[in-house]
A and B are shown apart, each in its own frame.
Chain A
Amino acid sequence: MANSKHWIEPHPQGIYVRPADVWIDPSGAQPRAVVTHGHADHARGGHGQVWATRETLAIMGLRYGTDAGTALRYGETMEEGGVTFSLHSAGHVLGSAQILMEYQGERVVVTGDYKRRPDPTCAPFELVPCDIFITEATFGLPVFTHPPIAGEIGKLFDRLEAEPERCVLVGAYALGKAQRVIAELRAAGWDEPVYLHGALEKMCRLYEDLGVDLGMLRSVADTPKEEMAGKIVLCPPSALTDRWSRRLPNPVTAMASGWMRVRGRARQRNVELPLIISDHADWNELTSTIADLSPRETWITHGSEDGLLRWCELTQRKARALAMVGRGEEDDG
């Protein structure tokens, strides 16, 4: 590997910053780790020392039982072994951060996961100039362009109106997607209660504790079936066709994910109402970000790295794919 002597070392289990003896988003427990955001494929439990945003630490606390760690604000710097670290908002989920590292005059940015669209539940993406840009590529194929979210929320309302005796059941990941969908519904004027599967309740409550207003939320378990007709219910994707859904009034099965762009994917999951809503950068965002930054080198952590790699080749940019394991598992889409 040409970059094996570099001070940043990509390994299958994470990115190792040698001079600081720190891992970024390691997939197993490490003595010293910086964590970009709370999704399980980036934040694991059991680390020794942890640096992350206050929100990410709180999310890890909810999931792993301990929120011990050093909280860093966006833009705040710390130094370890001659490397200056700072966190910059990634616009992916609440507390998500890109990590900027400066060492001997060289600037490296690790994006974690990111998007550039506005999201009422988290701070907007910050463009951080760098020499080496280490990016995700979940949607690194030109077929993936996410439409504006307002249109997708509109589809949901249209369906409710057309079939008022049914409810719309939206499958959404517990961290980030669920809260964003609720916040977008509120922004579009939906002030009815939103009904939640038990697996989403804690995270929604945490978001509210951290200052994100989600309006009136109710638990499906405490609600009579008839009350939910004409209403919106959220559950984790795994519960969409589970027995659990039998307690709902003839639900229209919806799913909020960037993968819903592809019809086959939606059909595979028995989704009747695909909503193309993603917390990841789409193809245009991925390529325009690289174009905006014009880094000396682009490294690709996970996703459709072949597609983005090919684009870099076509536009004569130096790029390489890092083979990261276990990424894109929880927040795939």
Chain B
Amino acid sequence: MQRFAALIDRLIYTRSRNAKLHALATYLRETPDPDRGWALAALTDSLDFPAVKSSTIRNLAGTRIDPDLFRLSRHHVGDTAETVALIWPGSEGVEPEDQRLSTVVDALAATTRTTAPDAVADLLHRMDVDSRYAMLKLALGGMRIGLSARLAKTAFAQAFDVSVDAVEEYWHALEPPYTELFAWAADGGPAPDLSAIPFFRPFMLSHPFEGESLDLTEYAAEWKWDGIRVQIARIAGETRLYSRGGDEISKAFPDVVAAFDVDGVVDGELMVRGEAQGADVAGGGAASFNALQKRLGRKTVSKKMLQEAPAFIRLYDLLVDGGTDRRELPWDQRRGHLEDFVPRLTADRFDLSQVIDVPDFEALAELRASSRDAAIEGVMLKRRDSPYLSGRKVGHWYKWKRDPLTADCVMMYAQRGNGRRASFYSDYTFGCWSDEGQLLPVGKAYSGFTDAELKMLDRFVRQNTLNRFGPVREVAKTLVLEVAFDSIHDSKRHKSGLAMRFPRIHRIRQDKPPEEADRVATLKAMVP
């Protein structure tokens, strides 16, 4: 347990991605089964002990410590689990035990609502302060230490020198503590048998298109829709919906999950139904990304939300058809199977992403330029003879994004970055002019510049600070930044009533006087 606690703290305090990977990989290599599997599950929020609730812990603290002292302490610390870990009256003079993580997991899993308080108290008594914290976080679920599933898989692959793709496939198919996964990766055992599980297959990803032209007899063109890329898989009666990172998001979209009633695995864009956009290009209309965002990241969805923002998937590709893996087939043939597959699905939940029918590349370029539809991010170019490959392999798929929109804005505030950038002011809030001649914030960006430009911007912030609000500095409104963004929409987040998607610093316009920056009204006109 002490090693696990040390790992948690290391991950909490480390900002660098590489250092996190290294810490986790080392832990996975050096820790025996099944402890390392439980650790992995805990870190990726795949463990649940329903009998232990936050209130269990709070009540328990109430039996050992004065409620006023607890309240004052909790207020200071800001986290119940940490407060209890720190405050728990250690058994004076008794050397804390270093129980195995699996022993702790077993103890927690065996509890009921009635036995949970005593069981947790017993564990707390035996542990040192950092282990108490780790145990309580483990018991309550949701470590929230900024470790994505993707990072965990990468660390696993790094630890045992196996391919991330393979890890990704097996991972979702297996249950904690993933003993078969470790047996395969660490001890050279056989690969796990996944035939009866709707597991996640790694996505095929694209590169940005930077060429001049492509031969459309070799490449097919499709719209790139502005939702989230998902994979939906159904095997032996069980359906699971996965995000691009391979996280299961079935609970947030029960409507589409329930409607997918044919065995197979498909790749598509998840969107919510809407009126205005997309209807002229293909199939039914989709709402903007903004509307979808309201449904993302939810553990449960209300009936109202299901009615107001019904989700659907526009399908791009087919990976598994019934029980047959089609990934080895060229795109042309997979497309044929997909076109046969889609009519078997509920029509208002699943439709086919149309192939753009144009005679040549020039016609495609023209069509792409003329389309300012907010639901369309650009065009995908897919090699007709490519198999479905995992990851981002060169020469197969290209993403030809629309040229970004740009606006000239004035820097208003700056904030320090994280990690490598902790000593630089690298996050900028910028604004445009209102009709009354007031500067109103329209967005925030922390990318798009080179290292040299970052140094220049950092210097500007330090030399032009007007006010400090904690970590934020208000700067003199003199520097014009040309900001590029994918789209802009109405939002309550900024005083201007606007919010940009993917804003980044395109150019620093030292040549431009701030009065000549864009007006909010100009940006409003770009809202679709």
Binding site for B on A (CB under 8 A): 141-145, 147, 241-243, 245-246, 253, 261-264, 266-267, 270-274, 304, 306-307, 310-311, 314
In the complex formed, the residue of B with least CB distance to A253 is B422
Once the chains bind, are A267 and B13 in contact (CB under 8 Å)? yes
- If the complex has contacts A242-B423, A264-B79, are A304 and B15 also in contact, measured as CB distance less than 8 A? no
In the complex formed, the residue of B with least CB distance to A271 is B13
Is there a chain A Cβ closer than 8 Å to B437's Cβ?
Answer: no
Give A22 to B352 CA distance when docked, in angstroms. 87
Once the chains bind, are A262 and B76 in contact (CB under 8 Å)? yes
Q: Which of A144, A241, A263, A304 has the most CB of B within 10 A?
A: A263
Once the chains bind, are A310 and B13 in contact (CB under 8 Å)? no
Once the chains bind, are A264 and B87 in contact (CB under 8 Å)? no
Give A263 to B73 CA distance when docked, in angstroms. 14
List 15 other contacts, CB 8 Å, given A142-B73, A310-B66.
A141-B72, A142-B65, A142-B86, A143-B83, A143-B86, A144-B86, A242-B423, A246-B423, A263-B82, A272-B14, A304-B72, A306-B72, A310-B68, A310-B72, A314-B66
- The smallest beta-carbon distance between B251 and chain A, in angstroms, is 29
Give A267 to B145 CA distance when docked, in angstroms. 11
Once the chains bind, are B15 and A310 in contact (CB under 8 Å)? no
Is there a chain A Cβ closer than 8 Å to B359's Cβ?
Answer: no
Is there a chain A Cβ closer than 8 Å to B194's Cβ?
Answer: no
- If the complex has contacts A241-B422, A307-B69, are A274 and B76 also in contact, measured as CB distance less than 8 A? no
In the complex formed, the residue of A with least CB distance to B66 is A314
Binding site for A on B (CB under 8 A): 9, 12-15, 65-66, 68-69, 72-73, 76-79, 82-83, 86-87, 129, 133, 416, 418, 422-423, 458
Residue pairs across A and B with Cβ atoms less than 8 A apart, 7 shown, are A145-B86, A241-B416, A246-B423, A263-B13, A271-B13, A306-B72, A307-B69
Q: Which residues of B have CB within 8 Å of A145?
A: 86
- The smallest beta-carbon distance between B327 and chain A, in angstroms, is 42
- The smallest beta-carbon distance between B357 and chain A, in angstroms, is 54
Once the chains bind, are B13 and A272 in contact (CB under 8 Å)? yes
Give the interface SS of chain A, mostly helix, strand, loop or mixed. mixed
Please pick, from B13, B76, B87, the residue contacting A266 in the complex, using a CB distance under 8 A. Answer: B13
- The smallest beta-carbon distance between A154 and chain B, in angstroms, is 13
Q: Which residues of B have CB within 8 Å of A147?
A: 129
Once the chains bind, are A267 and B87 in contact (CB under 8 Å)? no
Give A267 to B422 CA distance when docked, in angstroms. 12
Give A263 to B458 CA distance when docked, in angstroms. 29
Once the chains bind, are B422 and A142 in contact (CB under 8 Å)? no
Once the chains bind, are B13 and A274 in contact (CB under 8 Å)? yes
- The smallest beta-carbon distance between B417 and chain A, in angstroms, is 10
In the complex formed, the residue of A with least CB distance to B67 is A310
- The smallest beta-carbon distance between B146 and chain A, in angstroms, is 10
Once the chains bind, are B79 and A141 in contact (CB under 8 Å)? no
In the complex formed, the residue of B with least CB distance to A142 is B87
Once the chains bind, are B69 and A270 in contact (CB under 8 Å)? no
Once the chains bind, are A270 and B15 in contact (CB under 8 Å)? yes
Give A145 to B423 CA distance when docked, in angstroms. 31
Please pick, from A143, A242, A253, the residue contacting B76 in the complex, using a CB distance under 8 A. Answer: A143
- The smallest beta-carbon distance between B134 and chain A, in angstroms, is 11
- If the complex has contacts A243-B423, A270-B422, A271-B13, are A264 and B72 also in contact, measured as CB distance less than 8 A? no
Q: Which residues of B have CB within 8 Å of A272?
A: 13-15
Once the chains bind, are B416 and A143 in contact (CB under 8 Å)? no
- The smallest beta-carbon distance between A224 and chain B, in angstroms, is 20
Q: Which residues of A have CB within 8 Å of B458?
A: 243
Give A246 to B73 CA distance when docked, in angstroms. 37
In the complex formed, the residue of B with least CB distance to A306 is B72
